Structure 1
């Protein structure tokens, strides 16, 4: 069996191209340019690269982006004050606080401070609650990116057993919520696994669709995957200067039916979905 390699880079480029047309149409109708304000605290190299990529993607899509760099010694109060300024600024439609934050800043308090109407990462409890009820204001970027990859690859999700490996607030939990909903690219039977799951390999081997988001390089091996399963690798890890996923690609690709590579799989979709949410936020603002 030779797995279908799901080309996230190509699908993300196509998605951004369509989005650019929507942005242009929205601007022509309203005179508004969707604006994403990003805040980067500290000098984390990976975060800096990621934010730069978001800036470039915004520019290509016809959106405005502004990056606000703060030193690592910035206090929580100073960061909250900046967020409040963006909350009150009608020209800003989406606010992104790049994670991780320095250890002296309470992450949850900061994320909760972003107004739900500009929370384009879908981290605010109000937006998470709407997502859980199946009426999302915004779609969580990485999980929604996985969904789009499944859809564009012609993979049927309805009625399938999806196993999500990882229970983070950013990927694991919202991924499970999206897949279990009524609707397209959903209606799955979902199991969430994590570090305390007993008989982990036995559980993951039941998956028709396995989403790996555990943050451990090459963690998922061939013996953990059912032959013919669809494997979506969300992990991005650096090993000896090389980017690898949470899935041992060389082991798993020969037995999977479809698989995402790292890099070039899920990662590019995250930014595409962030831009989509920013356009949604601008549309919400335009309606008043």
Structure 2
């Protein structure tokens, strides 16, 4: 089935719910769902607003595609360049900083590239992977993770495309890590996913982290009622206010602390996140 046909089916099947004001369609990057962050947050919003949330957990590029096509009311995403393009084209009304974490470079326990894991230097780490031609798995799935990875290679002055050691998977982060664990490869993962699933990857360890270039910022974007009058814009704005509220930001701050001793995400609502007059 073609992508446009699929989007058309989503609009036709869900717009009646949105018009009724009882359903909010959220297109989200995969990590918050995979790591369980939404488990408590989304039911709380549903209860407070007597509504149902229909969540699509997708790579960021596809989540933005749903927002851009009018098939989602709000998107939670982490690819700033793509987000800004959607906003500039008028398919999103406004974006707010929501939370952030960072990426980690994971690799085999024997670390064949000889990366010094004590140094927060991802450029040098990637250069070492290239120099010894160590196997590296990448997503290549329109995800924010893949876009970040490509930006990191570029910052290191390396073009890995078409290299024999650089292998496309088309998989999400959890499955890429599973494959890397089995095959002894390096790969990039967001910290929340790593913390949640690292016990399943006994053959991998973090070989590079804490570089400022590896920060991972996540924003929330409302759709455009001007372009798509059928979207549930009022409920989307309520959802934004909910996610930026002190209560939810505190829930984000402590997420993962009990299990991992560190949070999955850092709350990032700022004073410049205030709902504008047109959004009220």
For the superposition of Structure 1 and Structure 2, which TM-score range results when normalised by the shorter chain?
0.3 to 0.5
Higher relative contact order (CA 8 A, sep 6+): 2
Instruction: Give TM-score scaled by structure 1 length.
Output: 0.35
